[in-house]
Structures are given as structure tokens and as C-alpha cells.
Amino acid sequence: MITLRTASLALAATLALAACNSKDAGTGGEIAEGKPVAAVPAPTGQSWSDVASFTPEGGVVQGNPNAPIKLVEYASHTCSHCAEFSEQGSDALRTKYVDSGKVSYELRNQIHDPIDLTFAVMARCSGPEAFHAFAEQGWANLAPMFETFNANKAGLDAAMQQQGAARFDGIAQSAGLYDFFAQRGVSRDQAKTCLAKTDTATQIAANSDTQSQELNVTGTPTFFINGNNVGTQTWETLEPMLQRAGAR
């Protein structure tokens, strides 16, 4: 597993679409069959997917905070397998399960490289309500983002020689992340101010290290259903687990 402490510029600058530290899909624990759970109406004027908050574990949970089925995903913003899961499952997960009030969906970061960490910080700049959308859009644009990363090795190299906020500023500039987030309503000034709060990055990286070790998260995407580690899954293999847990 690659963390902030061990990530090198060589890794960050030579990312490829296959460079995702993930086990084979379909591995993990079993889910006991639960009784079907009832849908829960969202607050007036909202969908449950509009409701989001930061969690004590450093993630962002979307949906009914009291949902009887709690799905947690450990993911990397530079992971191609996470991008595949998002492409295949994010719409169905949101509309069929989160918006029903039966399932809450928490994303937590497992950090694989410095670009991943920079994106994780910037995705929090507009608060928890925007985080899941930024993550999904980042994964949807992963191929062009990799092209930008790999075309700017010199800039990334220079950024990695810096410390603190200057490092994150240089990574965001060289990796095209300022432009990416500006197109989605986060101004450069807002993003720079966000990145300057380096305690956020430090805490995200610390959470990644500690939780990966304690919870045996060895790759991404790794999923938990009601606290049970079900391992790396695709949407095709995860959806039946949610249904078996009662989301049917």
C-alpha cells in the first residue's frame, strides 16, 4: 500500500490507468441475509443524496444518517478500479439505495500518491455536500487527468521539492487540478486557501494510514457493509450484498 510517507514523485508522475492497488473483485466477507427494510422519506424539499456530513473517521457520508444499512467505501482518487466502480454503480447506488433512505454511503480516502492527497483536500473545499459529486467527476475524467499529470513531470518534480502549502499549490497547478475545480465552481483563490490549511492533508493521510492498518484495507475500492469488511467489489458483485442486507 502506498501512503503519503512512501509516495515518491516517480510514482506520482508516471501514474497509469492500471496503477491501482486493488485485489481481485469479489473477495471479502459474507453478508447475512437481513429482513427487507422500509424506505424513509427525505427531509422536505430534499433528496437523501443531498444530505451529507463529515464523519469522525475523516470520510464524507451521504444520505440518511440513521439508515439501517451503512455502506463505506475506501477509495483513491487516482485509482482506475474506483473509477470503474463509480462509472458502473454511482447512479444506481444514489437513486435506488441512498435516496430510498435505506442505505447511507460514506467515502473514505486511502491515499496512494501526492496527487491523490491533493485532490482529496480540494474535494472538501466546498463542504461535504459537494464531495461525492467531485469524486465522481474526478473518476469520470481520470484518463485526461492522467494525461495532464504525465505531461507535467517537470512541474510535479519542482512541486515535490517544496514543503507544506507550497507543495500542494505546485501539485494542483501542474496536475491541472485548479482548472478542474474552477470548472465546477471552486475558484482558484478558494482552492489555494483550502490547500493552505495543511492540517487537513495531514489528517487525511493519517486517517488513511491508521485505518488501512487497523481495518485491513489492502487495496481500493474496499467496501464495508454495517462494519463488515466485504473486500474489493464491483457494482455487479456489491449490489446483491446490499439487497441481501435488506435493501430490497
Cα separation, 248 vs 95, whole angstroms = 13
Confidence (pLDDT) at 5? 37
Cα separation, 198 vs 183, whole angstroms = 23
Asked if the structure places residue 221 within a domain, the reply is yes
- Kindly calculate the radius of gyration of the chain based on its CA atoms and give it in whole angstroms: 18
Please say if the pLDDT value at position 87 is more than 70.
yes
Are 145 and 174 within 8 A, CB to CB? Answer: no
Pick 4 or 168 by higher pLDDT.
168
Helices 114-122 and 164-174 cross at an angle (nearest 10°) of 90
pTM across the whole model: 0.90
Quick: pLDDT tens for 15-46: 433 346 544 555 566 898 999 999 999 999 99
Are 74 and 21 within 8 A, CB to CB? Answer: no
Asked if the structure places residue 50 within a domain, the reply is no
- Residue 113: exposed, middle, or buried by beta-carbon count in 10 A (0-12, 13-18, 19+)? buried
Asked if the structure places residue 196 within a domain, the reply is yes
Q: Please state the domain count of the chain.
A: 1
Asked if the structure places residue 26 within a domain, the reply is no
Please say if the pLDDT value at position 13 is more than 80.
no
Q: What is the domain-level CATH number for residue 86?
A: 3.40.30.10
Confidence (pLDDT) at 7? 40
| Structural domain boundaries, residue 148 | 9-15+57-245
CA–CA distance from 189 to each of 70, 75, 186 (Å)? 36, 27, 8
Count the Cβ atoms, other than its own, within 10 Å of residue 236: 12
- Cell, residue 173: 497547478
Confidence (pLDDT) at 106? 98
Name the phi and psi angles at 97, rounded to 5.
-120, -55
